[in-house]
Chains A and B, each alone.
Chain A
Amino acid sequence: MLSEKDVLNVSKLARINLSKEEKEKMRKDLTLILDYVAKIRELNLKDVMPTLHTLRIKNKTREDETRKQNVSFKKKLIGLAPQKENGYIKIKSVFKDR
């Protein structure tokens, strides 16, 4: 069974605040699911390579160059931000002393 502390720790890492009721339900549900998925731990996989991707393809890269986008498209993208100012996305300050 996951502890309350475990749930709190994961919720911090996941950047989601949970209400008291949510925390309790989450503890119960995650424990249930983890108990189920833990069955894969019974397999001995010492010499097995992980599959990160099903296609064995090489990385595709493109030239490192700026691509011209028209101003209206840029405006559209910035316009989607909840808070913006002078064509920039605005966020709360990240330094403590500001």
Chain B
Amino acid sequence: MELSSLSIREIHRLITKKEISTQELVERYLKKIEKENPEINAFLEVFKEESIKQAQEIDRKIQKGEEISILEGIPVAIKDNILVADKRCTAGSKILENYIAPYDATVVRKLKEKGAIVVGKTNLDEFAIGSSGEFSAYGATRNPKNLEYVPGGSSSGSAAAVAANMVPVALGSDTGGSVRQPASFCGIIGFKPTYGLVSRFGLIAMSSSLDQIGPLGKNVEDVKIIYEAIKGEDEMDSTTVSFLQKQTKERLEEVKIGIPKEYFARGINPKVKEIIEDRIKDLELSGASIEEVSLPHTDYALATYYIVMTAEVSSNLARYDGIKYGKSLSGSDRVQNLLDVYLETRKEFLGEEVKRRIMLGTYCLSVGYYDAYYLQAQKVRTLIKEDFERAFQKVDFLLTPTSPTPPFKLGERLENPLTMYMADILTASVNLAGLPAISLSAGEVDKLPVGLQLIGPAFSENFLLSIAQLAQRIWT
């Protein structure tokens, strides 16, 4: 039995048929973590004993002949900006090094209630701010496909853990591509649901009008099972809704896929472009109709994203002030008054990139610049959203590369912040418009994974996931 080939459904079959015990299965994953994690640095913490104990309980249920549900005994990793009760939650930051989560995030509670085993917390760029995993205060995560390369970010640990078979599935969060882009870099699948369909209660907020929790896995069905387990309206997150469009088309022959020409323009690595075009041809041969479309404001999307996101970051991260929780210099000689506590605590415990984004967001919201930057960006956001709405009047889905390049080398983009920001150029508009999108594995360039992004209209997840499943079947 190879861990790499195990889907949730296969694990469920193996443990219910008693071909392997849940304990044995969980121990095999834990061993894999023990062996690989020192090099990959995907996990910040692993809950070994509790995981084994929980597995034993499920085995007792199976022994007694009780039925178990599909998620029972499935090991899941959780990005360390999502709260797991009574466990440390650092968000990849020094400022939360000593923070113990007082409650479960809604998504974690739902997974636990369905019997999934939370085996550990995964590494991330500090406060989910970054596109390579290198901005974690606890060391960079490495790409399991090639240790010299970044795994993408900010859900770097979750993507690497799944790709290295340390867990079958994991949760991440996606503000401008943080689930899809690392999935693409690690050769796995990452799904960002429509804004509002999954509760963010217990997710450490980065940019509240953009943040969304989503699953990562090795096949579309696994990702779908996790998504269905965590979705739904939640009274603790007032932005959640429960609404889904009806799926009207079942077969690829009925589906119209739009290719936004702006996403294949300059800046796309030619080899990435070639692979995506091959996959488009595959879909066409399988009966899907392909049509070129235009999203005319694409060129403004990244700039818009970096204004809206940093503005919200500056506001959300104001809570790390050394007063309510986390590390603080309030008792130190360095501070004389309350203002000093804020100024010095944040100087000491926040990382460079986080400071940069707080500063940028503060600037864009400050007197004299608000209209020129923040308000202007929110208006461009309307145009970007309307571009998508117009395109979806003509086609069912849009298909693009997930990232303009294959994974880059560790350290390669640390010097110039703008080159790092470019990694989000094909994913961020989706968050600005609140749409669902999935990154599927499309192939490899020089033995490095390349991902493909399918974007759907708001609330089209059922349709999107079933088409993604059909597409993945064609390609593998």
Are A and B associated in one complex?
yes
Instruction: Please list the residues of chain A having a beta carbon within 8 angstroms of any beta carbon in chain B.
Output: 6-7, 9-11, 13-19, 22, 26, 29-30, 32-34, 36-41, 43, 45, 48-55, 57, 59-60, 62, 73, 76-77, 80-83, 89, 91-94
Residues in B with CB closer than 8 Å to A81 are 323-325
B232 at interface by CB-CB < 8 Å: no
Residues in A with CB closer than 8 Å to B248 are none
Whether the pair A51, B381 counts as a contact (CB closer than 8 A) is yes
Residues in A with CB closer than 8 Å to B306 are 33, 36-37
Chain B residue at smallest Cβ distance from A42: B300
Residues in B with CB closer than 8 Å to A53 are 209, 239
- Main SS class of interface, B: helix
With the chains together, A52 CA to B340 CA distance in Å?
33
Q: Residues of B within 8 Å of A, CB-based: how many?
A: 70
Which 7 interchain pairs have the tightest Cβ spacing?
A54-B434, A50-B378, A82-B328, A80-B325, A17-B347, A37-B303, A14-B362
With A14-B362, A60-B238 as contacts: A40 and B380 at CB distance below 8 Å: yes
Chain A residue at smallest Cβ distance from B378: A50
B416 at interface by CB-CB < 8 Å: yes
B63 at interface by CB-CB < 8 Å: no
With the chains together, A19 CA to B67 CA distance in Å?
61
With the chains together, A27 CA to B330 CA distance in Å?
28
B60 to chain A minimum Cβ distance, whole angstroms, is 29
Residues in B with CB closer than 8 Å to A34 are 360, 363
B255 at interface by CB-CB < 8 Å: no
Residues in B with CB closer than 8 Å to A76 are 102
Whether the pair A54, B385 counts as a contact (CB closer than 8 A) is yes
Tell me the B257-277 residues at the A interface (CB within 8 Å): none
**Other contacts beyond A17-B347, A91-B323: 16, CB < 8 A:** A11-B359, A15-B318, A16-B347, A16-B355, A29-B356, A32-B417, A37-B304, A45-B379, A50-B379, A50-B381, A54-B432, A54-B434, A55-B239, A89-B324, A91-B330, A91-B341
Sample of 23 A–B contacts (CB below 8 Å): A9-B366, A14-B355, A16-B359, A22-B355, A29-B356, A29-B417, A30-B360, A32-B418, A33-B418, A33-B421, A37-B373, A37-B377, A39-B303, A40-B377, A45-B376, A45-B383, A50-B379, A54-B433, A57-B241, A60-B238, A76-B102, A80-B99, A82-B323
With A54-B195, A80-B99 as contacts: A41 and B372 at CB distance below 8 Å: yes
Residues in B with CB closer than 8 Å to A51 are 378-379, 381-382, 385, 432
With the chains together, A82 CA to B372 CA distance in Å?
39
With the chains together, A11 CA to B432 CA distance in Å?
27
Whether the pair A55, B346 counts as a contact (CB closer than 8 A) is no
- Main SS class of interface, A: loop
A96 to chain B minimum Cβ distance, whole angstroms, is 9
With the chains together, A83 CA to B241 CA distance in Å?
39
With the chains together, A19 CA to B356 CA distance in Å?
13
A-B contact count (CB 8 A): 166
Whether the pair A15, B366 counts as a contact (CB closer than 8 A) is no
Choose, from B149-157, B331-339, B465-473, the stretch at the interface.
Answer: B331-339
Interface membership of chain B positions 357-393, coded 1 if the CB is closer than 8 angstroms to chain A and 0 otherwise: 0111011001000001101111111110100000000
Most chain-B CB neighbours within 10 Å: which of A26, A53, A77? A53
A60 to chain B minimum Cβ distance, whole angstroms, is 4
With A29-B417, A50-B379, A55-B241 as contacts: A14 and B307 at CB distance below 8 Å: no
Chain B residue at smallest Cβ distance from A37: B303
Whether the pair A94, B338 counts as a contact (CB closer than 8 A) is yes
A70 to chain B minimum Cβ distance, whole angstroms, is 12
With A33-B306, A89-B324, A92-B338 as contacts: A16 and B241 at CB distance below 8 Å: no
With A32-B418, A82-B328 as contacts: A52 and B378 at CB distance below 8 Å: yes
With the chains together, A39 CA to B307 CA distance in Å?
11
Whether the pair B196, A55 counts as a contact (CB closer than 8 A) is yes
Interface membership of chain B positions 153-170, coded 1 if the CB is closer than 8 angstroms to chain A and 0 otherwise: 000000000000000000
Residues in A with CB closer than 8 Å to B375 are 50
With the chains together, A7 CA to B355 CA distance in Å?
12
B83 to chain A minimum Cβ distance, whole angstroms, is 12
Residues in B with CB closer than 8 Å to A94 are 338
B235 at interface by CB-CB < 8 Å: yes
B452 at interface by CB-CB < 8 Å: no
Chain A residue at smallest Cβ distance from B347: A17
Whether the pair A26, B356 counts as a contact (CB closer than 8 A) is yes
With A17-B344, A33-B360, A49-B382 as contacts: A83 and B330 at CB distance below 8 Å: yes
B122 at interface by CB-CB < 8 Å: no
Residues in A with CB closer than 8 Å to B324 are 80-81, 89
With the chains together, A34 CA to B385 CA distance in Å?
23
B342 at interface by CB-CB < 8 Å: yes
Residues in B with CB closer than 8 Å to A30 are 356, 359-360, 363
With A48-B383, A83-B330 as contacts: A14 and B376 at CB distance below 8 Å: no
B100 at interface by CB-CB < 8 Å: yes
Tell me the B304-352 residues at the A interface (CB within 8 Å): 304, 306-307, 314, 318, 321-328, 330-331, 335, 337-344, 346-347, 350, 352
B458 at interface by CB-CB < 8 Å: yes
Whether the pair A40, B323 counts as a contact (CB closer than 8 A) is no
